[in-house]
Structure 1
């Protein structure tokens, strides 16, 4: 009877073929009755594994190559179950093989250990993690409620200050009104007194006229001259209110900012994607969310990478720079006609055309304004930053507090930080210059040495959700990361940059660097 078939409880002993087998040798694949166990174990040529027949390996599979033979071995190289005939074949020649029964027992032991680890360690840890989720959720909700409460408190404080200003101004108006009313009442008293005097004079003159007294009438002297000249008009002091334009960005700066909690850097940043964007070269890269990025390509088009959409510039000439607005529109600068245009739904609209200056680099601010770096064509090679609200110039930044240019002749890329600082690359001086929203200098960063023989050469700049400043260094092919106060935090210098030209960060704090004919996506936060 085939030991792999039939009811296991009725299997006969393989040796005596008489008694029902209650034991089984996994090594010899032999069913044994109690009387034959000792006889079987007497064979010392093998290390037997005799177990209860209920624990036996009752169904070793049939060999796929030799259907009449049952598998007794396991090939390590092929990770297949094989029979004794397979060992002699060319396929398994020089392969390491294991006794299937022992291999099976080892796998059973591994399985039991895995189950034990799952039950005693892994599963309890997941349960503990799951039980911690409601507390973490409650903690998050509590934190958010506290954050909202702080916002409302700050709002009340701001309202209180505004109310105080209004009350003070109203008090000034009330005081001025009181002064004016007192002067008016005094003037009114003088006029009333004069009117009473005039009435008495009229009455006296009428009596004189009615008397027909020649003597008194002949002595009459006119008093009209005294009253012909009216008293001067009362000069009342007045006030006027000169409302200022409420700039949302300055109000926001005054109110405060919401920013993510601190995040941990990856010990080793890595390239998450390496996308070819152009056959020869792509320069400026700009992104907003994590769905894709825009680049300026060698055929003078502006392309969105993920869907292959292409928008050609109006003049057909290469844009100097591009930027995305908060609504996803594309702003680009054109040196050929000194224009700044915006592309909305594939329709190009002219915003500004300059006469004496060339617009070079552009960025869109949180308030919807545009910041544009410009250069002059004069011998002095002057630079400046201009803020536009639509087509209207609202700010012009050219000089520092000493009356000197805040950058040298090589003004480069710029970006607005979360705290509304303006971060701009000074390529000629090899510095990053940071100005506040009023255009006053906050600090300059001159770089740190990645390679001692290479000077800091910033070529691109961006900021992330924590307000950290990321400066792209062309010389060392690295990225310098600073906090918003200019303190150096770390380098990213392990991403094999070759000829980097531009940098941006998406909404998930992934870095995009345009490098030769491709854009590299770099992850640097955990």
Structure 2
């Protein structure tokens, strides 16, 4: 309802506060009656008042005030300084030689930008937070239920213990009663024997008294005494003394016996919510030219430097920003390194397939870390804990396994699933390895044309076999593999000239193209920039694929 025509709620003039509003000043944002227009126009002569009919208010642009000249309005826009400017600003030396456009020329562009961000807030970000709030509420409800179940379980366990203790008490009392009754029966028998003897003695005494009181001499001389028989007293029976020795209750041991509370820890990936936000289009930030005929591998030393290797014995360190060669190291054996990685301490490690060794470079000196027997190393990565993971083949390439090393000591072998079947394919195919933020071990298995992911204990989580349609509709051929800060897994798809991204559970997310040609080795830096070694082009591309 138009407030200027409403009989129930008439809009009054901001100046006189009595007359009905008919006009509006777009400059001062005040409502006016016809009589007050003139008064308002002369109230502040420093301003250019834009008075329009109330029905078309806000039709006049309200230009921003100048931050340098307080009484000026900015009707122009400086392209070099990327800021609104007033006429006084334009005339000043600060913007000398700069290019200007009217601020209205960028108005639609700014509105479109704001509109897009508003749409993203309304349709993507806000619903995502709604989902997060719902998830938190669900977790709270689940927590209430889980702790209710926990309390019930503790109570039930206590009732079970009470029943067991009652049974034990009843059993011990029954055993005590049985032992008491047995000893009472023994003593009663003994008492009966004593009373029988006492009766016999009394009979003897009565017989002797009768004889003594008699004048019959033949009886007196015929008395036979049994005194000696009664002088041997009966054996003294002392019942066994039964005592209850209660077990000592040690509080800690008692608690451990009864049960303890444990809490499961969250893996790193569970600390983050997945978003619905649209990812930005990937863009190539820079390109580093190398001199390899066949460029194979890339590994980040830092956000400014990368190691590379290819089809010769050299390993080269390049400046990312300058593209210049900083260092060149050659393998000890003269063989080309199959794979390279940077350790947690910043040292370069590489695998020498033909020499059966894993080597480390420290201050330009190469030291042999591991020498294998009957096996040959291929892919290698350094873990978050500082261990090394090496994927290796048997001499006849009929077995493949992953081995974890702490220093030079083998600490874990991953080769078979729970059913005893091989996790990885056989044969002389390329295979690379990396560790995810959730400590999963991810292997790109070119022989099986899949990515194989196991957890830290070596238990199979999933196998990923590619996504259709692929950019070039060619078979999935995974080579280099890496992960990012959100536990996404990235692998080079050699035949389709792209990098494929899946989440930590093996769900396809998207492809990265950026004009790639025969991508091979991959790595990411601490800012989630992706580095791609292109096999034929002798180039490493740095690609920004996240916001």
TM-score range for the pair, normalised by the shorter chain length: 0.5 to 0.7
Q: How many residues align?
A: 399
What do residues 415-436 of structure 1 show as CA deviations (whole Å, max 9, x unaligned)? Answer: 3456665443222344444556
Task: Note the 1:18-97 alignment, pairs <5 A.
Answer: none
State the 1:284 CA deviation: 1.6
1:120 corresponding residue in structure 2: 104
Contact persistence 1:263–1:525 (CA under 8 A): no
CA spacing shift, 1:341–1:119, aligned 2, 3 Å: same
2:339 corresponding residue in structure 1: 321
1:186 to 171, 184, 193: 171
2:447 corresponding residue in structure 1: 428
State the 1:401 CA deviation: 5.4
Task: Note the 1:222-301 alignment, pairs <5 A.
Answer: 251-252=266-267, 255=270, 257-259=272-274, 262-266=277-281, 270-278=283-291, 282-287=295-300, 290-296=303-309, 298-301=312-315
1:492 and 2:506 are equivalent in the alignment: no
2:88 corresponding residue in structure 1: none
Structure 1-normalised TM-score?
Answer: 0.54
C-alpha distance in 2 between matches for 1:396 and 1:358? 15
Task: Note the 1:100-249 alignment, pairs <5 A.
Answer: 117-122=101-106, 161=146, 168=153, 172=157, 175-176=160-161, 178-180=163-165, 182-184=167-169, 186-188=171-173, 190-191=175-176, 194=179, 198=183
For 1:120, what is the secondary structure of its paired residue?
coil
What do residues 155-178 of structure 1 show as CA deviations (whole Å, max 9, x unaligned)? Answer: 996798589559736853763465
1:462 corresponding residue in structure 2: 482
2:398 corresponding residue in structure 1: 381
Question: Cα RMSD over matched residues?
Answer: 6.0
State the 1:492 CA deviation: 1.4
CA spacing shift, 1:191–1:414, aligned 2, 3 Å: same
Contact persistence 2:378–2:391 (CA under 8 A): yes
C-alpha distance in 2 between matches for 1:160 and 1:223? 65
Contact persistence 2:314–2:328 (CA under 8 A): no
Structure 2-normalised TM-score?
Answer: 0.52
C-alpha distance in 2 between matches for 1:246 and 1:313? 50
What do residues 318-363 of structure 1 show as CA deviations (whole Å, max 9, x unaligned)? Answer: 5432334566565544445645566788898887654443332123
State the 1:222 CA deviation: 10
What do residues 289-340 of structure 1 show as CA deviations (whole Å, max 9, x unaligned)? Answer: 6333222364444636459665858956654323345665655444456455
Contact persistence 1:371–1:386 (CA under 8 A): yes
2:74 corresponding residue in structure 1: none
C-alpha distance in 2 between matches for 1:133 and 1:222? 105
CA spacing shift, 1:423–1:186, aligned 2, 3 Å: closer
2:542 corresponding residue in structure 1: 521
CA spacing shift, 1:418–1:174, aligned 2, 3 Å: same
What do residues 137-160 of structure 1 show as CA deviations (whole Å, max 9, x unaligned)? Answer: 9x9999999979977985996798
CA spacing shift, 1:170–1:217, aligned 2, 3 Å: farther
CA spacing shift, 1:386–1:163, aligned 2, 3 Å: farther
2:465 corresponding residue in structure 1: 444
For 2:298, what is the secondary structure of its paired residue?
strand
